Amino acid sequence: MAHRRAAVVALTILALALPFLFAGNRFYAFILGITYLYILWSSGMNLLSGFTGLMPLMYAGLAGIGAYTTVNLVMKASVSFWLAMPVGALAAAVVGVVLGLPSLRLRGFYFTLSGLVIQTALTMLFVYVPQFTAGDTGISQIPPPSIPLPGRTFPLTGVWLEETLAVAAVLTVYLVRWITRSTLGTYLVAIREDDLLTEALGIDVVRNRVLAFFISSLIAGVGGAFYAHYMGFVSPRSFDVLTSLNTWLIVGFGGQGTILGPIVGTLILAPIPYLLQELYLYKDIIYGGLIVFTTIFLPRGVYGSFLFYRRTRAAARAAASPKPEVARS
């Protein structure tokens, strides 16, 4: 599929170029930055909710752990962001794995529910350990990351910060894409479809689930770290259940279990709160309406429905012609 590869390359280049195209207007550049953050987050969550069939409602909490760990290391221990961020991500990943363990016992909805509980607990935790989080007043004046060059350090401000986010987002999408095409990806889908059968076929369900949680939480943590140092501010409210739901909605709206789905979802949903500033009284209603609308009309999400439509058409053709061609997602 040559044209496909070409499209992927083109998209990548565009994604990396956009920050410079938007450099003129800091406002749109900022929205772009947020969009990259959510592409990163939603792709990470998609690995669980889409490909593994588990809806991790504690996702924002994990991002929070990544963020707070990084911020504390940078601001208190004055560690370089580039060393602190991996530590934060790792912390998030470990916690994510631990909090993911219920999924080995709890099926489907009960796991979702436990996620809700865990998320609430984490948010409370952030509020009530002020020595790390400054409580509900939050941590402000978080410095932007900087690159240590020989002689001097080059602070990533303005366009360079967005560019960093762009790179991070692109890498994440590629990572997720690579995983879903790897053996692990196949296993995750198999587990989602029928975990008993998968186990009976000789595939270690527990190991693969844990792996999925690890990677997904890692991404959450990375996103959290970038979020903190991009916004320059974090508070427990930045990582509450609504953030989890936002991220999930983006994935669901775009199309779970597809690579492009979360990206499409982000491009449509992430900028809304910023572009609809004047409609502040209606934002929540519009937002909630979108959720209801999605569940009712687009159970597969925007891009997902498109793929579904294409696949069913292909299947119809397959039924007709002896040499069928199957659309792959």
Partner 1 sequence: MTLEAILLNGLAVITTGLVVGAIFSLVAAGVTIMYGTIWLPNASNGQFFMLAALLTWSMVIGWGLSPFLGAAVVIAGAIPFSLLLEKCLIRPFYNVPNRNIVYFIMTLGLAQIFAGAFTGTYGQWTDNYSIPAAWPGALMIGPFPFPRTRFLVLLVSFSLLTGLFVFLRLHRVGRALRAVFQNREAAILRGVDVRRIYRFSFVLAMLVITTGGVLFAMAYGFDLTMSWTMAIIAFAIMIVGGPGSVLGSVVIGMIFGFTQAAVSLFASPTLATFSYLVVMLIILLVKPSGLFAR
Partner 2 sequence: MTKLLETRGLNKSFGGVSALKDLSIHQDMGETLGMIGPNGSGKTTFINAVTGHLTLDGGEVSLEGKVIRGKRPHAIAQAGLERTYQAVRVYAQLPVAENLRVAALPHYRRLGYSNPLDGVDVLLAKLGLKPKKETVAGSLTLFEQRRLELAMRLISRPKLIMLDEPVGGLNPTEIREMIQLLKDLRTECGLFVIEHTMKVIMELADRVVVLVSGEMIANGAPVAILQDANVIRHYLGSIRVTSR
Partner 3 sequence: MLGYDSKRAGSRSFFLATIILALGAFALLLPSPGAPAEPLKGEPIKIGWIAELSGTWSFFGATGLTAAQIAEEEINAKGGILGRPVQVIPMDNRTDPAQAASAARMLDTQHKVLVLSGPTSSDTSLAIYGYAEQNKVPFVVPVAAFPRLTRPGTQWTFRVEPDAVGWGYAIVKFIEKMKPGASLALIYSDFALQRAIVAGIKYQAERSGIKIATDIIFPQNATDATVQAAQVKSRNPDFVMVSGGGAFDVTITNQLLDLGIKPEQIIHPFGAVKMILGWGPRSVGSYYGTFFDHSLGGLNDYAQGLITKFTERKGYVPAYIENFCYATVYLIKEAVEKAGAADRVKFRDAVRNINTKEITTGIPIIFDKNGARKEFMYFLQMKDVKKDIYQSKEAFYIEWDPEVIPVYQLAP
Q: Which amino acid is at 240?
A: D
164: nearest Cα among 274, 9, 29: 29
- Residue 201, φ and ψ in degrees, nearest 5: -85, 0
Sign of CA dihedral 222, 224, 226, 228: negative
Residue closer to partner 1, measured from CB, 37 or 122? 122
Smallest gap from residue 231 Cβ to partner 1 (A): 23
Partner whose footprint covers residue 324, from partner 2, partner 1, partner 3, none (CB < 5 to 8 Å by kind): partner 2
Residue closer to partner 2, measured from CB, 149 or 200? 200
Partner whose footprint covers residue 121, from partner 2, partner 1, partner 3, none (CB < 5 to 8 Å by kind): partner 1
How many residues are there in the chain?
329
Smallest gap from residue 16 Cβ to partner 1 (A): 34
Interface with partner 1 (CB under 8 A): 55, 102, 105-106, 108-110, 112-114, 116-118, 120-121, 124-125, 128, 245, 248, 252, 281-292, 294-296, 299
Smallest gap from residue 66 Cβ to partner 1 (A): 21
Q: Three-state DSSP class for 154?
A: strand
15: nearest Cα among 170, 177, 172: 170
Residue closer to partner 1, measured from CB, 106 or 203? 106
Smallest gap from residue 81 Cβ to partner 1 (A): 32
Smallest gap from residue 262 Cβ to partner 3 (A): 11
Joined tokens for residue 195: 């975990």
DSSP state of 153: E
Interface with partner 2 (CB under 8 A): 183, 186-187, 189-190, 193-194, 196-206, 315, 318, 322, 324, 326
Please spell the DSSP secondary structure of 135-152, one letter per residue. GGG-B--PPPPEEE-SSS
Residue closer to partner 1, measured from CB, 3 or 107? 107
Residue closer to partner 3, measured from CB, 214 or 233? 233
Smallest gap from residue 128 Cβ to partner 1 (A): 6
Interface with partner 3 (CB under 8 A): 25-27, 29-30, 34, 50, 127, 135-138, 140-142, 231-235, 237-238, 251-252, 255-257, 273-274, 277-278, 280-286, 289, 292-293, 295-301, 304-305
Q: How far is CA 116 from the centre of its chain?
A: 17
* Alpha helix positions (H), the chain: 2-22, 26-49, 59-75, 81-100, 102-105, 108-128, 130-133, 159-181, 183-193, 195-200, 205-231, 241-254, 260-269, 272-275, 280-297, 302-320
Smallest gap from residue 87 Cβ to partner 2 (A): 33
Residue closer to partner 2, measured from CB, 32 or 188? 188
Query: Do residues 180 and 328 make contact, with C-beta atoms less than 8 angstroms apart?
Result: no
